[in-house]
């Protein structure tokens, strides 16, 4: 494990999406330790295990088996030692209802999964370089949904 590296956790049941994500992190110029969980139950077990380091940023898919991303988001925000984790919703859904629900439930940013690799790298770079203390102090619906210019 690298010192001063960002700890990134991706909760996603799709193996292709996990590989795409892993490859993108390997190509950006930021030191990271990237870990993966495959479903909501595994995510919550990972976060509740005191032997595991909490992620600096959690990328959370909404549509997962056993426990959905929304269920995990609610549980994380209600758990004292987890509630300050930066949560980036990372989903194929562009449903206004999903965006609104996750905003209200306390996620930090909503990212629609891109279909091409270069866009994914740009998104990841944007998310990991945000000053989250500043960003979350002025969080509103307009800056919640990540749109690359």
Yes or no: say if 110 and 146 are a contact pair by the CB < 8 Å rule: yes
Between 142 and 62, the more confident residue is: 62
* Chain centre distance of CA 133: 16
Q: Is the pLDDT of residue 59 over 60?
A: yes
Domain parsing of the chain, residue ranges: 6-143
pLDDT tens readout for residues 1-44: 445 788 999 999 998 888 888 898 888 878 888 899 999 999 99
Helix, strand, coil shares of the chain as percentages rounded to 5? 45, 20, 40
CATH code that applies to domain 6-143: 3.40.50.2300
**pLDDT digit string, tens, across residues 109-136:** 888 888 889 998 888 888 887 755 544 4
């Amino acid at each position: 494990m690298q010192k001063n590296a960002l700890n990134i956790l991706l909760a996603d049941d799709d193996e292709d999406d996990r590989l795409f994500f892993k490859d993108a992190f390997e190509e950006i110029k930021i030191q990271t330790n990237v870990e993966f969980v495959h479903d909501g139950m595994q995510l919550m077990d990972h976060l509740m295990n005191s032997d595991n380091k909490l992620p600096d940023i959690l990328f959370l898919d909404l549509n997962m088996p056993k426990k959905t991303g929304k269920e995990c988001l609610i549980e994380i925000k209600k758990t004292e030692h987890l509630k300050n984790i930066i949560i980036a919703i990372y989903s194929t859904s562009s449903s206004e209802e999903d965006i609104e629900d996750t905003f209200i439930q306390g996620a930090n940013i909503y990212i629609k999964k891109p279909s091409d690799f270069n866009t994914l790298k740009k998104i990841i770079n944007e998310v990991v370089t945000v000053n989250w203390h500043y960003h979350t102090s002025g969080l509103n619906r307009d800056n919640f949904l990540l749109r690359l210019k």
